[in-house]
Copies of this chain bind each other. A is one copy, B any other.
Amino acid sequence: MADAVLFEFLHTEMVAELWAPDPDPGSGGKRRSLSVLEGLGFRVGQALGERLPLETPAFREELDALKFLCRDLWAAMFQKHMDGLRTNHQGTYVLQDNSFPLLVTMGSGPQYLEEAPKFLAFTCGLLCGALHTLGFQSLVTASVASLPACKFQVVIQKS
């Protein structure tokens, strides 16, 4: 299906365009690039969050919102579900994707690990933006131990 590859190609080129690796580690170019990608993802996630749950009842419980991300949002983006969802029942959730599509096109050797963050920033922002629309403030980070698997950690911010 071409829609899916269209999004993936566009994501790849957008990362290439917005990524400004910094020769001077002091001036924060990488961090700025990551936050631009995260911000972009946040706004797309907000918009998707407004669009997707039209047929879904309101999410009163955090866990319902997280399940929505793992099933409906992931299906809309990647035509599959998240592989795992764990929680400590205190507002921290770990979402596991064993083969994250935006990392699949990279090489999978350990030498590529340091390249991974730029392919995760947009999606971290997107998860955070979708949760924001659903009424939850969160911090979302991603980690990769072995490509192309990755984990997104979501910490819900209590108000």
Residues of A whose CB lies within 8 Å of any CB of B are 1-7, 9-11, 13-14, 17-18, 36, 40, 43-44, 47-48, 51-52, 75-77
Complex contact A17–B5 (CB within 8 A): no
**Chain B residues whose CB sits within 8 angstroms of the CB of A77 once the complex forms:** 2-3, 6
Copies in the complex: 2
Give CA–CA (A22, B87) in the complex, Å.
Answer: 48
**Chain B residues whose CB sits within 8 angstroms of the CB of A3 once the complex forms:** 1, 3-4, 6-7, 76-77
Complex contact B5–A7 (CB within 8 A): no
Give CA–CA (A2, B3) in the complex, Å.
Answer: 10
Residues A44 and B76 in contact in the complex (CB < 8 Å), given A14-B14, A18-B17, A36-B17: no
Give CA–CA (A2, B77) in the complex, Å.
Answer: 7
**Chain B residues whose CB sits within 8 angstroms of the CB of A43 once the complex forms:** 9, 13
Give CA–CA (A7, B51) in the complex, Å.
Answer: 13
User: Who on chain B is nearest to A72 by CB?
Assistant: B2
Complex contact A48–B7 (CB within 8 A): no
Complex contact B40–A6 (CB within 8 A): no
Complex contact A9–B47 (CB within 8 A): yes
Complex contact A9–B76 (CB within 8 A): no
Give CA–CA (A128, B49) in the complex, Å.
Answer: 33
